[in-house]
Structure 1
Amino acid sequence: MDEAESAARRLAWGVHNAVGFVFTLFWTAGWISLALLVLLATRRRDVALRMAARCWAPGLTGGAGARLVVEGADAVDWSRPYLLVSNHQSVIDICALFQAVPVPLHFLLKQEMAKVPFVGWYARACGMLFIERDNPRAGPRLRREAAALLGAGHTLCLFPEGTRSRTGVVAPFKGGGFQSAIDAGVDVLPVAIDGAGDVLPPEGFRVRAGVITVRFGAPLATGDASGAAGRQALADAAHASVLALLRRSA
């Protein structure tokens, strides 16, 4: 490939990603606006959440050229609430999980997301939870809120690595978030996401077509977990389950 052809390819990809970024902004703003109007009219958060799963998320994964493959969902009893814990490769993970989980799904998001126009409005209106990483006093309150959400029969997703993986390696799971499942008496559901980091890397906006696979593991009971040691043991078991799910594609 000569220098001119290489420059043309880089320009084409640059234009492609710029158009994709603009599409993402307008698509997100449009569907969130509609979802908020529906929520205002119906007062039903479940309807607004399923709009994300059936309309917003498919548009973004499809627009990225991604094909979603879901494995193991049929073996899960979705009539029960779960604390869903997943590895975190990309922001498109949220789209993949919204689509893969067949019930209304709440997320635990970093506090900065609450300040993002449209996204923050939607998240707050739909009962999402936010973590204040720089405020240690916020932890107990957040765990109570998460336990109450789970206890009310809702499924909550968190990314216990704490941030997106820049290398694809799954970092150890932090145990603090698992306390809410223990307090609510609900199972932890490990989930592995594979391929999302290739479709949309964690740095910048460089979309590439590919396959995103979401694999559901076996639920982990929380009844025997007690104290900090039991909480961390549960987190370690979930981490091991996610790693095993990822190895299925190896």
Structure 2
Amino acid sequence: MPSRGFSMLKCVLVASLFAAACGFSLQQSRTGLKHQDVLFSSSGLTESIQRRPYLPRLQNFELAASTAAAAPLEQSVEGQQLVPYGIHMKLGKKKRILNITGFFFLFNTMLTCALLFPFTVLSYLWAMAFDRRRRRAVDNCVHWWAKLSMLSVFYRPKEIVGAEHLPDDAEGVLYLANHTSFLDILTLSGFLPRNFKYVSKVEILKIPLIGWAMQMAAHIAVRRMDRRSQIETVKSTIQSLKDGNSVTMFPEGTRTKTGRMGDFKKGPFTIAKKAGARVVPISLCNVTKWFPSWAVMPLGRPTDVRVVIHPPIDPKDLTEAELMERAFAAIESGLPDFQRPLPAERAKLAAKRASSAAAPPSSQRRAAAAQPQEAGGEGQGRGEKMEN
């Protein structure tokens, strides 16, 4: 009887891991390049996004053998040689690639999370009793899950530069990093020697085991299509910073197809100003070579990932636009050339940020619109334009 019970327990564990892995794979495949995972717009705190979701069907996949030389041109990481990914499956309508290395990453990530999950639950119960606001015990479990799951596949950043710039763990700061892939989360959570919360789309928090652990650690969720939820997310993030938590955000809001850094959204800098929290820029280098946007998981074991931590920026005497410019320049300075915006794109992004800075805040625009117009004033001007 004991052996039979043990066998049943093993079967249940294996089945749970398989189901969690499938759920994670589906969630990753569901997020495409055209979904534009934007948390905050450049002109204000929120933005309405047109999203065309789809649910990939597992029976709709191709099994193929490929090398870097055989990869389509549009799948290349600009300026870099592709990682040979060998035998692989193409999942979903976008034919996102999952190879043997990626499946190994996925399996080890879910296995480590499953093994540590009981400790995460116990840490959550302790935190709810003694540390409800910060939940450091749960943060530590999330840190060890990310670190052990990456070490189990022999991955760690080749170099972490500027660790001396990290503020004390007791200070709530806003970490801002360029966004390349899901591996960003594992890299920062596992190897940045500080506790912090993420601002994440609510779909991530629904991933089995991983998302549940993030919920217990009080990571901050946002519903992208719900304006009220986004405003509440801003308030929750400010309060979390004031409670002494550090928060990590990706100011681009989404990853780019080429792997080059994209434009920043205004929301994180509004949060930093209102919370009075220092901003710590972080450059994540070379991750996109190993985990491009068209892959479900990494195509190979990353060997040259660098994390560059820049000096903190105090928002006290800066406008939001100035704070954004400094953070953008700092992160860009730490990136390799193939991840930096092209000169023409950089000029376009700078002009866009300048026009956004010159525009009045949305609250002022609403107040101006609510004021009655005098005869012959602005209202008449609008009427004349309509007649013309």
Q: Does residue 1:165 correspond to 2:250, yes or no?
A: no
Q: Per-residue deviation at 1:191? A: 0.5
Say whether residues 1:10 and 2:86 are aligned partners: yes
Separation (CA, whole Å) in 2 of partners of 1:73 and 1:248: 22
CA contact (8 A) 2:273 2:316 kept: yes
Distance 2:214 2:335 in 1: 29
**Alpha carbons of structure 1 residues 147 and 198: separation in structure 2 relative to 1, 3 Å:** same
1:142 to 225, 233, 238: 233
Alignment of structure 1 residues 74-85 onto 2, 5 Å = 74-78=164-168, 79-85=170-176
Question: Which of structure 1's runs of 4+ aligned residues deviate more than 3 A?
Answer: 11-17, 41-44, 247-250
1:123-179 deviations in Å (ceiling 9; x for gaps): 121111012211122232211111111111110000011112332211011011221
Q: Report the Cα distance in structure 2 between the residues aligned to 1:5 and 1:57, rounded to whole angstroms.
A: 30
Matched, 1:67 2:156: yes
CA separation in 2, counterparts of 1:249 and 1:214?
16
RMSD: 2.6
CA offset at residue 119 of structure 1? Answer: 2.1
Aligned pair count reads 240
Q: TM-score, normalised by structure 2?
A: 0.56
The match for 2:308 is: 215
Name stretches of at least 5 consecutive residues in structure 2 with no aligned partner: 1-64, 68-84, 89-97, 340-388
The structure carrying a bigger strand percent of its residues is 1
Q: Does 1:50 align with 2:176?
A: no
- SS of 1:121's partner is helix
Unaligned runs of 5+ residues in structure 1 are none
Cα separation, partners in 2 of 1:175 and 1:52, compared to 1, 3 Å: same
Name the SS for the 1:157 alignment partner.
strand
Report what 2:114 is aligned to. 29
Q: Does 1:39 align with 2:124?
A: yes
The answer as to whether partners of 2:260 and 2:338 remain within 8 angstroms in 1 is no
Residue type at the aligned position of 1:188 = V
Look up the match of 1:224. Answer: 317
**Displacement after TM superposition at 1:35 (Å):** 1.2
State the percentage of identical aligned residues: 22
* Counterparts of 1:139 and 1:198, CA distance in 2: 32
SS at match of 1:169: coil
The one-letter code sitting in structure 2 at the alignment partner of 1:214 is: V
Question: Aligned equivalents of 1:206 and 1:189: distance in 2?
Answer: 27
Q: 2:179 aligns with which of 79, 88, 97?
A: 88
Post-superposition offset of 1:190: 0.4
Contact map agreement 2:290 2:300 (CA 8 A) in 1: yes
Answer yes or no: is the 8 Å Cα contact 2:176–2:280 preserved in 1. yes
Q: Give the Cα separation in 1 of the matches to 2:298 and 2:336.
A: 26
The structure having more radius of gyration, on CA atoms, is 2
Answer whether contact 1:173 1:236 (CA < 8 A) is retained: no
For 1:132 and 1:152, locate their aligned partners in 2 and report how far apart those are by CA, in whole Å: 23
Match of 2:296 among 186, 204, 228: 204
Take 1:115 and 1:18, find their aligned partners in 2: how far apart are those partners?
20
Q: Identify which of 102, 106, 114 aligns with 2:205.
A: 114
* 1:249 to partner: Cα distance: 10
